[in-house]
Chain A
Amino acid sequence: MLSRTLRPQSAWAACRGYAAGNAPDYDPDFLGVPRNHAELLAKRPVSPHVFEIDGRQPHYKFPVGAISSITNRATGVALSVGTGAAAYVALTGDLGAAIVAFKDAAPLLVFPVKAAVAFPLVYHYLAGLRHIYWDHARYGNQADKNSPLEVPAMAGSSKLLLGGSVGATVLAALYST
């Protein structure tokens, strides 16, 4: 088991993880890890991951599967925040009237706002279905290249998901009673 020494630190620093310098102290008899390992780690930079060392350009081109995954997370946060805001308006005022007032005040913004509301709903739902499918699919052996978690299948399903969600969002935003 990784050995950890208890260092006095704030609760926030303690939960921050490895990159913030919370590296556990490894057993020096294991693989010749030096005894001053923690001190060395404090001085070492972390290699570039999302952004380059200038912090501006991306370090590498994210695969489309990773993009679909972070979009799922972002739409999930958007749904939580949006539902909370809508609930607040509904409980303290009148949500229906607020929407009508908005439509009258800014008729040109109606389509973009409807799209912005529809996209998280559609995308998160479809991405969630895909995830449930992954969790319950019958996988064969590791060497079997026919599963939904192979590289081409993931890339294809991600593109389909993103493209299909955009299409469904446009349709939903165009629809009006």
Chain B
Amino acid sequence: MQALRRGLLQRGRLLVAEAQLGRGHATQAEGAAVTSKATVEKEFLVYRWSPDSEEPPRYDSYKVDINSCGPMMLDVLLKIKDEQDQTLSLRRSCRPVSLLQVDRDASKMTRVAPLPHMFVVKDLVVDMANFYAQYKHIQPYLQTTKPKPDGKEFLQTKDDRAKLDGLYECILCACCSTSCPSYWWNSDKYLGPAVLLAAYRWIIDSRDDFTEERIRQVNDQWKLYRCHTIGNCTTVCPKGLNPAKAIAKIKQIVETGKIV
């Protein structure tokens, strides 16, 4: 889990590393001497399961030369898919913002598994239907009763805009919700850190006029109060967001009746 945070901090290196490796093309032909790198084999254990076969889930071992591959975990998985096993299934929506770097230590074996406690569709692809339905449930869009003051846009002070920092960046990757033990045991009724962060994002948006209704909707034994401040969500967020703090603030709003 700490690797995710390390990836975030070292994100700047991705652009440099990609340029140097040239992504398989001859961008090194700038006259710079290309040193042939030694082969460094690292073992990856990847979770596999197919709905077509009757076998139970298993881990398949792949050895990859990480010196001839991009630095990110996604690069490794795509390399495995290209060269070793075309049947490996994965989602790669994170491609533009891929943040998890591979631990360069070749003596350590790395385990690659799908998001925890989700129904597995195939290999590393999980069923996100419940997650998206819960997100839809909190109505994640601006709802106003008043028309725009100048007919063009809703205005907001800088302080009010600053309240949205750390909330709007959520990419709905579901890392937080799937790391929360409370969400594991109650996925159907507990909304989970990602959705509650989104709910809070709309609660404290000064342009939204349905704050009371949003709070009343989320104020529920199951939807909100299954959170016991375990804190896994904040630890794993690849964008460095803090759902635990957002949920604590929703609880304070519910208890005191004042927006904090």
| Chain A contacts to B: CB under 8 angstroms | 1-2, 17-19, 22-24, 26, 30-31, 33, 37, 40-41, 43-50, 53, 59-61, 63, 65-66, 69-70, 73, 131, 134-139, 141-143, 147, 149-151, 154
Contacts and interface: CB of A to CB of B under 8 A. Distances in A.
29 contacts: A19-B184, A19-B187, A30-B132, A37-B129, A40-B51, A46-B118, A47-B113, A47-B117, A47-B118, A49-B116, A53-B59, A59-B113, A60-B1, A63-B232, A66-B232, A69-B228, A69-B230, A69-B231, A70-B230, A131-B229, A135-B248, A135-B255, A142-B241, A149-B231, A149-B234, A149-B242, A149-B244, A151-B5, A151-B231
A44 B116 contact: no
Contacts of A30: 132-133, 136
A97 to B, nearest CB: 40
Contacts, number: 150
A142 B117 contact: no
B120 interface: yes
Interface of B: 1, 5, 47, 49, 51, 56-59, 113-121, 126-127, 129-130, 132-134, 136-137, 162-163, 165-167, 181, 184-189, 228-232, 234-235, 241-242, 244-246, 248-249, 251-252, 255, 260
B234 A135 contact: no
Nearest to B124: A47
Contacts of B117: 19, 46-47, 49
Nearest to B136: A30
A17 B188 contact: yes
A46 B47 CA distance: 12
A63 B163 CA distance: 28
Given A47-B120, A139-B248, A151-B235, 16 more contacts: A26-B130, A31-B132, A44-B120, A45-B120, A46-B118, A59-B113, A65-B235, A66-B230, A69-B231, A137-B248, A141-B162, A141-B165, A143-B166, A147-B242, A149-B244, A151-B234
